[in-house]
Amino acid sequence: MIRVSQISDTTTWLHRIPLFGNMGHIEVIMNSTVLVLNQNYIPLHLCSVRRAVVLIHRGKAEMVEAGLGLLRSPRHTFPYPSVIRLGQVVKPPLLHPKLTRRQIFIRDKHTCQYCGTETRDLTLDHVTPRYLGGRHAWENLVSACKACNRRKGGHTPEQAHMKLLRPPTPPKKNGYFPFLLIPQIHNHPAWLKFFPLGTETMLPPH
Ligand SMILES: [Zn+2]
């Protein structure tokens, strides 16, 4: 059993986890997120701390960046992994972003698609309202600020005399797969350097 024996400091996301609590809390830490880089250092995926420790221990991956603190089992002490790199190039899986509020906001760069305001306080708007047959689909969902959502009410943009900045489309399929990891960077700013320049512009505004 690996235990969290020492946490020398805290990070934003660790603040939310009581560090020296019961086994349940340790479970939370072991299930925390580690960034997995491909052998070519391109972000590939996320895994749990538990999985990362196993991969390192089996020689399948190396630690690129340690997190804070140590994990200790009866026979071994492991630095707490934050970023690991696989020993082999793995073909990135074909990933299709799930249709979620968050992914819609990311696609729309956290900008209201009616008035262009950039805000964290967005709502999800069905362009054609559902009761008029509008689908819950990438092509019919946009980010809208609260004021625009109120103004639009249960109408179509035409009825409400509102215009979309651009027609909503599905995100690129596997065009840029680390795209899917972007929401996680928000909780792990130290990971940003592993992502291409400009990624930070896709993060929610502060
Ligand atoms: Zn708006």
pLDDT digits (tens, 9 = 90+) for 104-145: 998 899 999 999 999 999 999 999 999 999 999 999 999 999
Would 95 be classed as within a structural domain? no
Mean of pLDDT over the chain:
77
Residue 186 resides in a domain = no
Indicate if the pLDDT at residue 177 is higher than 90: no
- Going from the Cα of 67 to the center of ligand 1, the distance in angstroms, rounded, reads 39
Residue 145: what pLDDT? 97
21 and 70, same domain (yes or no): yes
Residues 73 and 107 in one domain: no
Contacts 24+ apart (CB under 8 A), 142-145: 142/104, 142/108, 142/113, 142/114, 142/168, 143/104, 143/105, 143/108, 143/110, 143/111, 143/112, 143/113, 144/112, 144/113, 144/114, 145/112, 145/114, 145/115, 145/117, 145/119, 145/121
Instruction: Tell me the CA–centroid distance for residue 160 and ligand 1, in Å.
Output: 13
Residues, Cβ < 5 Å to ion ligand 1 = 112, 114-115, 117, 145, 148
Q: Rounded to the nearest whole angstrom, what is the distance from the C-alpha of residue 118 to the centroid of ligand 1?
A: 9
Domain residues for the domain of 132 are: 101-160
pTM over cut 0.95: no
198 inside domain: no
User: From ligand 1's centre to the CA of 70, what distance in Å?
Assistant: 47
How far CA 19 is from CA of 69, 84, 164, in Å, comes to: 11, 23, 47
For the chain, percent of residues with pLDDT exceeding 70: 70
Q: Are residues 57 and 127 both part of a single domain?
A: no
Output the CA 11–ligand 1 centroid distance in Å: 34
Q: Output the six-digit token pair for 1.
A: 């059993």
C-alpha of residue 122 to centroid of ligand 1, in Å: 9
